[in-house]
Amino acid sequence: MNTWAIRQVAEKIKASTRVVVLTGAGISQESGVPTFRGADGLWKNFRAEDLATPEAFDRDPLLVWQWYDWRRSLIKLLKPNAGHYALVELEKKAEDFTLITQNVDGLHKAAGSRNPIEMHGTLWRVRCLQCKKSFENKEVPIQIPPKCTTCGGLLRPDVVWFGEALDEKILHAIYTCLQRVEVMLIVGTSAIVQPAASFGLVAKRAGAFVTELNRSRTAQSSLFDCSIQGKAGELLPQLVEHIGP
């Protein structure tokens, strides 16, 4: 069943020039990164309101930094998996390729993806609340609370928290490519958090062939042209193999 569906998607990709891939926590699951809403999901054990909102950071920056430091230390030891590498290969095959990720773990870049749009920011940058500059920072453990080397202000993780707006330029770039895309893959996301949860529907409405690759069905599975259940680290390499050289 999967093989037939994968072949169909491979044919669509071969016949098109513009491909967009949206990824979520599921693509990094096989690397050992906890997802947010799975059985071992972070939001099963922690409350997002305490750790991933601007209010939580105002209330208790030390607690929030301890949580981010824990995630950074965990992820620093992990490596990209076959799913991340398959997307690097897909990027080489497609004439016009855009990778959008909700993940902040940096594993797409570590695998060699050239210019992923990290729409929720990255764990490996920090931003000063005072002078607003942002810097790469890969220190593990990070000194808590981290201070800006330019102005001494308090640094925060350069990620997008619940209740925060996404960067306008990034959103503009995403919606522009969703209007033009011919084939879209949605990989390993529960499709619950907006605005990413609507990207597949926007692309479909604009005429794209949209495929979901996920270990389980999601609330949106029946809305797409194709929904394939399985592990990203197995399905994506198969897809790339079917596309051929």
Q: How far is the CB of 37 from ligand APR (least distance, A)?
A: 4
Nearest-angstrom CA–CA distance, 236 and 118: 20
Contact 170, 98 (CB under 8 A): no
Q: How far is the CB of 86 from ligand APR (least distance, A)?
A: 12
Q: Using the minimum distance from each CB to ligand APR, give the nearer residue, 148 or 161.
A: 161
Q: How far is the CB of 236 from ligand APR (least distance, A)?
A: 9
Q: Is 242 a known active-site residue?
A: no
Dmax of the chain from CA atoms? 58
Q: Using the minimum distance from each CB to ligand APR, give the nearer residue, 150 or 216.
A: 216
Q: Give the residue nearest to ligand APR (CB).
A: 26
Query: Which position among 84, 108, 120, 172 bears the catalytic label?
Result: 120
Per the structure block, which two tokens stand in for 127? 């931003």
**Residue 18: strand, helix, or coil:** strand
The binding site for ligand APR (CB under 6 A) comprises 24-26, 29-30, 35-38, 41, 102, 120, 188-190, 192-193, 214-216, 218, 231-232
Say how many residues make up the chain.
245
Give me the sign of the Cα torsion angle 235, 5, 104, 173: positive
Helix 2-14 to helix 232-243 angle (10° resolution) is: 50
Q: Using the minimum distance from each CB to ligand APR, give the nearer residue, 163 or 207.
A: 163
Active site residues: 120
